[in-house]
Chains A and B, each alone.
Chain A
């Protein structure tokens, strides 16, 4: 009997505090063969286990490094994610995956990424990959918004991203008293006119809260982007990751395997989402 439910041990190699509630863990499987063989596409996720607490679906937030390690960026909001926040280098977690469909291959195209809050995590691997092969892409732009300046992820990497050819537009919904912020204030749809990528030659990758994606997609469609060139990554409750627990289902789709990344054309008009 060999079922899909058994996670394998991985070691936490490094921990980077991104924000007050969000941490990036660098991990690698302990088994050398598994470590070497583990492949994924940005946008896919692992089921992360802490025994005695439970399992949670968490996207892989990096592209593969030469040493076989990869990263999970985790916001501490649930049982598993809060317990993860108490772990450090040398500690063990257990993983199974990668599951689901990742972001599309956009080589040869303009690449527009629109992210909100923790929604940048599953897109970071795309950004890293595109910057490493920058000449494979046309224009490359990121519109990134968060609730406050303190909620922005990966801020220490922004300068490097920009230097290597990413056009970055930042915004926050609001600036708490005393916080420093000299950029745009407003939800992410209010900076969409700053993007120069036009419909037809590009791929638009969108990830954030579903309500944010709803309005971003609405704005994209108003700008004549086709439903087939817009991609969204959906979040749902998941207990299995492999299409047998039924929890992530909406309409005739299972987010865990049919997604989590969908061309918007696949979810447009379906019930059970707010699109």
Chain B
């Protein structure tokens, strides 16, 4: 399985037909439920596959980040029963999962969250699911309108962090193994060994995709530039536009904040201590007795923007944004957070 942090060079390469990709998705169900991009109406969502035929591997980022399968929107972390003296039992419901067709931005988001959840006190749910996960990544050969992975160094191609990596070539697919488990899966695929021309074709396709990026963000200079512009007039404008709905944090692949709630059964016996996603744009996020540390909506909007594109750098040595563009796509108020930061940063981050 893909162990994070390690440099996973391709240890086997094949060129395979599209049918072999679908067959692989079907066959990987022996590991566990297979999740991948599927079409649902106009949207491509990351959902469980009945078979490989359900796959939709177009290069669009999916509505939700696959993060939700590892850091679930709700997660019971422990249970305790009054009738048993409230002896706390830790919940371990992690099971092997196959994630199929994950985009480079989202793979990089996993690695960002590996840092967040793998510190001095690891979040066991994340860590266990990461360990047990089989990850089939898919390089992007085209960029959607809101993608800016090229600016963040997180795409459109991927070098490490997968069991298997797929790239759609002009004819067929290049499949590359990054781990021994990936190699085993590769060995089971029909196809022929990849040649240098296929590797070159992959590189050319990724380069072409990167050149098609419609957005740019000056990532390297952004943290310092944002620090200088905490009181920029544009924040006042965004404050009036932001609905505080936290849709952005729900679709963001690196947002990790949560609330912990005790859910009690009807017999008033069993307590399920349950994690729920929480979002910093909401008014209750920083509320305590006697006040709210971010009572002003401007501060709440800035917390989201600054955490991703400024604070994260100092906290974890990288930015917390992977350039997927989901927060732009799904904001009901049409707020473009990355472009706002770009504008606020002015010439400093271009």
Contacts and interface: CB of A to CB of B under 8 A. Distances in A.
B116 A2 contact: no
A251 to B, nearest CB: 6
Contacts of A244: 116-117, 119, 121, 123, 256
Contacts of B187: none
B92 interface: yes
B257 A6 contact: no
B121 A236 contact: no
B31 interface: no
Nearest to B314: A252
B119 A243 contact: yes
Contacts of B77: 3, 5
Nearest to B261: A54
Given A2-B90, A252-B314, A245 B293 contact: no
Interface in A1-55: 1-7, 9, 51-55
Nearest to B280: A246
Given A1-B128, A5-B90, A77-B289, A51 B80 contact: yes
A5 B268 CA distance: 22
B222 to A, nearest CB: 14
Given A6-B90, A51-B86, A77-B289, A247 B278 contact: yes
A52 B293 contact: no
A5 to B, nearest CB: 5
Contacts of A66: none
24 contacts: A2-B90, A3-B90, A4-B122, A5-B90, A51-B80, A51-B86, A51-B273, A52-B264, A92-B85, A92-B86, A239-B278, A242-B120, A242-B121, A243-B120, A246-B257, A247-B257, A249-B311, A251-B311, A252-B312, A252-B313, A254-B315, A257-B120, A271-B306, A272-B303
Interface of B: 77-78, 80, 82, 85-88, 90, 92, 94, 116-117, 119-125, 128, 227, 230, 256-262, 264, 268, 271, 273, 278, 280, 285-290, 293-294, 299, 302-303, 306-307, 310-315
Interface of A: 1-7, 9, 51-55, 77-78, 92, 94, 209, 235-237, 239-240, 242-247, 249-252, 254, 257, 271-272
